[in-house]
Amino acid sequence: MAHIELKNVTKKFGSHTALTGLNLDIADGEFFVLLGETGAGKTTTLRLIAGLEKPTEGQVFIDGVDVADWGAAERDVALVLQQYSLYPRYTVRENLEFPLKPKIRRLPDAEIKDRVARAARTLRIEHLLDRKTDRLSGGEMQRVSIGRAIVRKPRVFLMDEPLSALDAKLREALRTELKNLQMQLGATFLFVTHDQIEAMSMGDKVGVLNHGRIVQTGTPHEIYNNPRDTYVASFVGSPPMNLIDGRLVENRAVMANFELPLSGGAARTGGATDGRPLVFGIRPEDVYLESGAPVEARVHDVENHGVEKIVTLRVGDAMLRATVPARTAVEIEQPVRFAWNSDKMVMFDKGSGVSLRHTG
Amino acid sequence: MASVALTNLDPASRAAARGWSDLTIRNMFIIPTLVFLIVFNIFPLIYSLGYSFTNFAANRSEPWQFVGLQNYRELLTDDHIWSNFVITAKYVIVSVAGQMIVGFGLALLLNRSFPMKGLITTLLLLPMMMSAAVVGLFWQLLYSPSWGPINYVFGLGDFAWLSNPDSALYAVAITDIWMWSPFVMLLSLAGLSAVPQHLYEAAAIDRAGWWYTFTRITLPLVSPILLIALIFRTMEAFKTFDIAYTMTTQPTAELIAIRLYKQAFQQWDTGKSCALAYIVLIMVLAITNIYVKYLNKVKER
């Protein structure tokens, strides 16, 4: 169990800068999710912590100790790679035993047996123990590779998009399992993903990475409801937050084709002065359709998701999405009226994209 | 079956304009190869099998006679021939083992990135691209007792590598190792670079040491290609003629191929030498068969 800290880490590969001045603080026993698009530097961050790469600048601390000169072995971390990296030609059991058998750290046979059995039970792969790894399905391979990580009882678990290669059903199941496993072990987990649903559902804390920089860290709730900038707002959430350019005029949000009233709370946000160019952000679930609502729009598109419908509204050339209950009857090109829950509305500065709530 | 798999000829092509069908084109490629194989490989093979049962001598015009298995009987009871086989076996073991160790060792050293890797690899491959007769001649100079650089460097005085009956065979084997280790190196390098990097990373994360990683991951994954190198080198070493023939005349270094050459073209014992050639062929086939069986087993794992 360990506390991990990255201080001002920069990593360059030749002329390409993968990470810029990264600061990260992962508390002991925390499930931390690093969320970002492909190429944002998530895997590089993991590899830096694991000791497979050395930072160009900055320091990595594990339990307060600078581990710059430590190899992967000394750091005592477990890394579950995207490709599973099971050792070919060996059985599942041999794969699980692999980290326990090197001479220097060899454990007594009884202990090895016990640990493998326990890991297999936890991950429900007992029936696969004597099978060769090339005869496993994707989900089974992933479990084995997680199993290989847990038999060793490492200080930290690092996971590099372990669920991305699996089909949706299995992904959901393993998501819960991983979360339970983390709680059971009480271990520090750093989980990397590009899937914001994974991040929201699993993380105690989420860090959003964009082009090698941490944009925001916080609980999933904070990230979702109070995004620091327009990037986080549009990246997190499915469908993403509606972002519309506009200005503030006397407690009203004036946008190109329509305007909506603001409640007192939203209007009092620091820096929200009249006439300042802003981007208004509103989650689709905070937009609702009502007969007496202030703005008229036409239904541009309807996506039925079973439990709910995602309706795309059109006002002039502006598009806005709203999540409505599935029973709501809407048809394409039907005129509707909508309003928003302005307490949930977030204002971003037009120039920098930073939320006014964060700049204060 | 084969014609079913053929695709139809594009009617706009020039071949179609000449009235050729796809079958014609297939035959145009295959028939010359078949003719070549039959004339230069299969025909001599069968013909020499026939000779091996006769007392035919290529330099005499007297009629030859069918002698049945007499050639084979004589050869297999000839102590001289058996000593040639023992010499050949020693030579094969020493030189192939040496090549495998040196070649694989070099490949392990080269299997990382360092400056001028390409140049160094190419330079290391040079020995195997030279003509064996030339290699034999200049190693003869290197081994020269009075002024050869090898004795000079190792301070061996005037040790006569090639005319000493005890060392001649091993001197030839060393030359063969020098010449053919690059071949093993090249194959091993291909095998080593096919081991995915992420497995090494996973092993490093699993806190496996170098030796543990090498024996548990590298070796099992490279072993099929190492076996292929071993098959090739064993076959070749068994047939070695040129290097040994140019380097030494010591009877203790008389490999089976040299014996065969002398029998066929110095004693003109054509029928008997055909029989000997067949004995050698069967031996090589037997040895490679054992390897291939083992190779298939390794691959299955």
- pLDDT tens sequence across A125-149: 889 999 998 888 888 888 899 889 8
Question: Quick one: pLDDT band at residue B301, thresholds 50, 70, 90?
Answer: low
Between chains, do A103 and B209 touch, taking CB under 8 Å as contact? Answer: yes
Element containing residue A335 per DSSP (H, E): strand A335-340
pLDDT per position as a tens digit, B228-259: 999 999 999 999 999 999 998 888 989 999 99
Task: Take residue B72 and report the two structure tokens written for it.
Answer: 């084979």
- Residue A246 near residue A278, CB atoms below 8 Å: yes
pLDDT at A269: 67
Query: Where are the domains positioned within chain B?
Result: 2-36, 79-300
Measure CA of the first residue to CA of the last residue in chain A; give whole Å: 36
- Tens of pLDDT, residues A65-99: 898 888 888 888 899 888 888 998 899 999 999 98
Cβ-defined contact of A83 to B198 (cutoff 8 Å): yes
Chain B residues with CB under 8 Å of A89 CB are 220-221, 301
Strands A335-340 and A295-304 turn out to be antiparallel
Model confidence at B4: pLDDT above 60: no
pLDDT of residue B1: 42
pLDDT in tens, A305-315: 888 999 999 98
CA-nearest residue to A98 within chain B is B206
B152 in A contact zone (CB under 8 Å): no
Q: Which residues of A touch B (CB under 8 A)?
A: 50-52, 71-73, 76-79, 81, 83, 85, 87-89, 98-99, 101-105, 148, 152
Instruction: Give me the percent of chain A exceeding a pLDDT of 90.
Output: 33
**Cis amide bond preceding B11, omega within 30:** no
User: Looking at residues A48-52, what average pLDDT do you find?
Assistant: 91
The DSSP code sequence of A46-95 is HHHHHTSS--SEEEEEETTEE-TT--HHHHTEEEE-TT--PPTTSBHHHH
pLDDT at A165: 77
What percentage of chain A reaches a pLDDT higher than 70?
97
Residue A32 or residue B299, greater confidence: A32
**What pLDDT score does B2 carry?**
46
Q: Could you tell me the two tokens for A159?
A: 């996971």
Give the number of other CB atoms < 10 A from CB of residue A101.
16
Mean pLDDT of chain B: 90
Cβ burial of B281 (10 Å; 0-12, 13-18, 19+) is middle
Residues of B in contact with A152 (CB under 8 A): 206-207
What sign does the CA torsion over B249, B253, B257, B262 have? Answer: positive
pLDDT on residue A312: 93
Looking at domain B79-300, its CATH architecture is Orthogonal Bundle (1.10)
Stretch A285-301: mean pLDDT, rounded? 89
Token pair 């030839």 in the structure block, residue: B172
Residue A360 pLDDT more than 60?
no
Average pLDDT, chain A: 87
Q: What is the mean pLDDT of residues A45-50?
A: 92
Stretch A319-334: mean pLDDT: 89
**For residue A187, what are the CA distances in angstroms to A77, A150, A190, A335, B9?**
11, 10, 10, 53, 65
For residue B214, give how far its alpha carbon lies from the nearest alpha carbon of chain A (Å).
Answer: 12
pLDDT at A64 over 80: yes
Give the distance from residue A116's alpha carbon to the nearest chain B alpha carbon, in angstroms. 15
Domains plus CATH for chain A?
Answer: 4-225 (3.40.50.300), 242-359 (2.40.50.140)
B206 touches chain A (CB under 8 A): yes
Cα of B263 vs its chain's centroid, Å: 22
Assess B155–A contact: CB distance below 8 Å, yes or no: no
Chain A interface includes B208 (CB < 8 A): yes
Alpha-carbon span B293 to B300, nearest angstrom: 11
**Rounded to an integer, what distance in angstroms lies between the CA atom of residue A19 and that of residue B144?**
62
Please report the pLDDT score of residue B7 as a whole number. Answer: 61
Band of pLDDT at residue B8, cut at 50, 70 and 90: low
Residue A313 and residue A298 in contact, taking contact as beta carbons nearer than 8 Å: yes
Q: How confident is the model at residue B3 (pLDDT cuts 50, 70, 90)?
A: very low
Q: Using CA atoms, how far apart are residues B195 and B107, in angstroms rounded to an integer?
A: 13
At residue B5, does pLDDT exceed 70?
A: no
Q: What is the pLDDT of residue B83?
A: 94
Q: Provide the 3-class DSSP secondary structure of residue B252.
A: helix
Burial class (CB in 10 A: 0-12, 13-18, 19+), B61: exposed
What is the spatial distance between Cα A110 and Cα B296, in angstroms, rounded to a whole number? 35
Average pLDDT over residues A275-302: 89
Query: Tell me: the pLDDT tens digits for A194-241?
Result: 988 888 889 999 999 998 889 999 999 999 999 999 999 999 888 889
Place of tokens 């029936």: A127
3-state helix vs strand vs coil in chain B, percent to 5: 75, 0, 25
The DSSP result for B63-83, as a single string, is PP-B-TTHHHHHHHT-HHHHH
Q: Does B212 touch chain A (CB under 8 A)?
A: yes
Instruction: Over range B2-11, report the average pLDDT.
Output: 60
What is the pLDDT averaged over residues B82-86?
94
Average pLDDT over residues B124-150: 91
Q: How confident is the model at residue B62 (pLDDT cuts 50, 70, 90)?
A: confident
